[in-house]
Structure 1
Amino acid sequence: MSTIAGIGISLPPSVDQDDLWSGFFARHYDSRRRALAQRIFQNSGVRSRQTAVSPLVEDVSEWSTGRRMDRYRVEAMPMGKEAIDRALADAGVRADEIGLFAVCSCTGYATPGLDILLARDLGMAPTVQRLFIGHMGCYAALPAMGAVADFVATHNRPALLLCIELTSLHLQPAAARVDIQQIVSHALFADAAAAVVLTPGDDSDAYAFRQLSALTDVTAVDHMTWDITDTGFRMGLSPQVPAVLAKHVQGFASTLGATPADGWAVHPGGPKILDVIEERLELPPDALEASRSVLAAYGNCSSPTVLMVLDALRRRDQRPDRVVLMAFGPGLTLYGAVLGPNLAG
């Protein structure tokens, strides 16, 4: 049995969505696109976002990919350390007790990577096993948590997962043509780090990791892309994504044994995605309140976001007995996990 013993979140400075629009993006788009872009920003469901590299302070849109990766290391290390410190303190676990350290990120790469550098700086044992997961995007936290939970159950040792994304580093140059997908990306995405400690299950108050499921519709493989260019990583986000999710989510939820009465930690990819999930699964009006609140306050932070929603549910005075986690990303892929009561406690 593997249980969620601690969660830690680290966020860079917050910026108001309206200030981002008026202070930068209103000038980023020419007159042909400005009205459309403003509507997309206003309807994004986002009120504020966290940016390690704020366009109100410095415009990285013309930076080379190499320069962005140099900055990634500078910004990611303290964010990752803060999230991990908070998760370890929440769990009551020391860094040198961690048996497996997994890191998810699709917004920056370096070798030695964050897994090596953070393990060194935090005092993890030289024998700690490490796992780096990249290019899985917004759903990466769930398969990564599954791998970490398997390690805990097999080796009876604590393990740690860090999801960290700096999407602000991938602001794209202003295009000569209307590119709605880039406008949507610029309106939604933000930065965050979230760490989770899993331990062998003996705490009756902790959520136990129960189940992991996945479904990929390869006919929609081009609906969500993340291409490495000379000016950072470029997001492709088809407006057909909600329709693909609507096609699959009912059957997928049934594989998880999910019911409307469960707690729901759904990745808030955008307001239309949350609306589709709520409608197709016939959820109560407040079932996705945590997801919508995270989107409004923090934006879409890619892989850490579903963990931020889980943390919000976990901290409620009347938290749900069982939580269904669901996230979506390239493939087009749906990932789901179930957390339930720790029967070993």
Structure 2
Amino acid sequence: MATTSHVTVYDIRRAQRADTTAAVLAIGTANPVTCISQADYPDYYFRITNTEHLTDLKRKLNNLCQASGADKRFFHHNEEMIAAHPEFLDRATPSLDARLDIAAAAGPELAAQAAERAIVRWGRPAADITHLVVATNAGAQAPGADHRLASLLGLRPTVRRTMLHLSGCSAGAAALRLAKDLAENSRGARVLVACVELNVVAFHGPKEDYPQTLTCQGLFGDGAGVVIVGADAVRPVERPLFEMVAVSQAVIPGTEHALNMRLTEHGLDGHVSIKDLIPLAAANADELLSDAFRQLGLAGVEWNDLFWVVHPGAPSILDQIESALRLEPGKLAASRKVLREYGNMLGSMLIFVLDEQRRRMEEEEGGRSAEWGVMMGFGPGFTIETMVLHLPECPKEQ
């Protein structure tokens, strides 16, 4: 076939790809208005579920709340909502439709609050967003939260949308891993990653023969985190915060029992074994991180020379990671602070930790106590997501 051009597919492919590594360009977070302290939560929970006579279970929930590492948590569901939906309390009564309807309306609105804050910090108009990745454990519709969020933000009809469902606490890391690939393989792409969690889909009344309920009710809270990701930053408008250098995902064989989840007729259900989870992340962190840096030609990295963005599922998990990697006190301070102030917000949690780490580094004298860092997220499987981060060099003044 005759052609008038000498352009090859390779030339086209090279022109389609970004020149630089993807970077975090802006972060925004948001929470619902209802806030309950962990000290008050057992009384609150047993009152609104009309089960104050279950004193033994209340004592167990109180102990769990005290050990959770959280001072308070935020929720979209409140006492009035639970009173209007008594089916949420009874596992024998189907309630999934009602739960999903609530989440379908409230989830995108909460994500939009976080997104609007990120867009303001980014400095460019929302219409410049080319890709949208939404992760949630509180949705199962199409069109879903991505479609509604795009409408709320005024994104272009051509924005390329992707939904991630039921990735548990690793949703934030998984969504950022996808955003890195999109940004680096689509020149000029600007990817808005939104992770939003609403535990109304998993709220249940206590059952004496199903203690797993108390674990979920005592740990998880609601929140939304948004990150804008892009390569080839447009100076001086865009200011890269973290370069996303390399990513990996590993499933630890034979651990499916430790953490799993599923949608059922009575809402989101599953199994969380804190006892089994505590050693898993710590036992595998050194090998996985060493392999990640080795592949970059950076063997022999000292863990205490890095900054850390770790999903804080529970204080005991962080303690084990600190011990296994011999981390100095304070290396996981950002994770501990977010856990203390919000509880475990599942997939959105890691974005809150990333934002807290950003804030801490900007407040430090010089702002660059560590050049390299790592992000770790944990989810069903048992799955460990890792990302190697790097602080961008400050551009020289012209």
- TM > 0.5 between the two? yes
1:9 aligns with: 29
Work out whether 1:245 is the aligned partner of 2:281. yes
Alpha-carbon separation, structure 2, partners of 1:171 and 1:55 = 12
1:308-323 aligned within 5 A: 308-316=352-360, 317-318=363-364, 319=367, 320-323=370-373
CA contact (8 A) 1:274 1:288 kept: yes
Structure-2 residue corresponding to 1:208: 243
Q: 1: CA distance between counterparts of 2:78 and 2:333?
A: 28
Deviations 1:274-320 (A, max 9, x none): 11111111111111111111111100000010110010010121244
Which of 323, 328, 337 is residue 293 of structure 1 equivalent to? 337
1:260 and 2:304 matched: yes
Q: Describe the SS at the equivalent of 2:181.
A: helix
In the other structure, the counterpart of 2:89 is 61
CA distance in 2: counterparts of 1:172 and 1:282, whole angstroms: 39
Q: Distance in 2 between matches of 1:56 and 1:211?
A: 46
More moved, 205-214 vs 285-294: 205-214
* 1:265 match: secondary structure: strand
1:180-236 C-alpha deviation (Å, 9 max, x unpaired): x32221111000000100122336752111011111113011210112222211131
Aligned equivalents of 1:205 and 1:134: distance in 2? 28
Distance 2:282 2:30 in 1: 32
C-alpha displacement at 1:342, in angstroms? 2.6
Matched residue, 2:4: none
Map of 1:128 onto structure 2: 159
* Matching residue within 124, 128, 136 for 1:97: 128
| 2:56 counterpart SS class | helix
- Once the two structures are superposed, the pairs formed by residues 152-191 of structure 1 within 5 Å of their partners are 152-156=183-187, 157-177=189-209, 179=211, 181-191=212-222
- Alpha-carbon distance, 1:56 to partner: 7.7
Q: Match for residue 43 of structure 2?
A: 22
Rounded Cα–Cα distance in structure 1 between residues aligned with 2:210 and 2:137 = 26
User: Cα distance 1:341–1:32, how it changes in 2: closer, same or farther (>3 A)?
Assistant: closer
Residue 46 in structure 1 maps to residue 70 in structure 2:
yes
What TM-score, normalized by structure 2, do the two folds share?
0.81
2:255 maps to 1:234: no
Post-superposition shift, 1:334? 0.7
Moved more, 226-235 or 64-73: 226-235
1:197 partner amino acid? I
Q: Percent identity?
A: 26
TM-superposition CA deviations, 1:87-119 (whole Å, max 9, x none): 111111222111110000112222211111211
Please give the secondary structure, in 2, of the residue aligned with 1:312. helix
CA RMSD, aligned part only? 2.0
Q: Number of aligned pairs?
A: 344
Aligned partner of 2:59 in structure 1 is 35
Which residue is 1:117 aligned to?
148
Q: Which amino acid counterpart does residue 17 of structure 1 have in structure 2?
A: Q
The aligned counterpart of 1:276 is 320
Q: In structure 1, what residue type is equivalent to 2:31? A: L
- Which one has a bigger Cα radius of gyration? 2
User: In structure 2, what residue type is equivalent to 1:64?
Assistant: S
The one-letter code sitting in structure 2 at the alignment partner of 1:280 is A
Q: Which runs of 5+ in 2 are unaligned?
A: 1-20, 294-300
Distance 1:127 1:53 in 2: 34
Quote the residue 2:258 is aligned against: 223
1:338 Cα deviation from its structure 2 partner: 1.6
Secondary structure, aligned partner of 1:58: helix
Asked whether the equivalents of residues 33 and 178 of structure 1 are also in contact (C-alpha less than 8 Å), the reply is no
- Report the residue type matching 1:21 in the other structure: P
Question: Cα offset for 1:344?
Answer: 9.2
Q: Contact (CA 8 Å) 1:54, 1:168: kept in 2 or not?
A: no
Residue 28 of structure 1 deviates from its aligned partner by: 4.1
Note the residue ranges of structure 1 that are not aligned, 5 or more in a row.
none
1:143 aligned to 2:174? yes
TM-score (normalised: structure 1): 0.93
Runs of 4+ in 1 over 3 A off after TM superposition: 25-29, 201-205
Change (3 A) 1:205 1:217: closer
Q: Partners in 2 of 1:61 and 1:94 — Cα distance?
A: 44
1:53: how far off?
A: 0.6
SS of equivalent residue, structure 2 residue 39: helix
Quote the residue 2:380 is aligned against: 330
Shift of 1:343: 5.1
| 93-102 vs 47-56, greater mean Cα deviation | 47-56
Q: Please state whether the residue corresponding to 1:240 is helix, strand or coil.
A: helix
Contact 2:377/2:384 (8 A) holds in 1: yes
Q: Which amino acid aligns with 1:2?
A: A
The residue type paired with residue 173 of structure 1 is: G
8 Å contact 2:24–2:240 — kept in the other structure? no
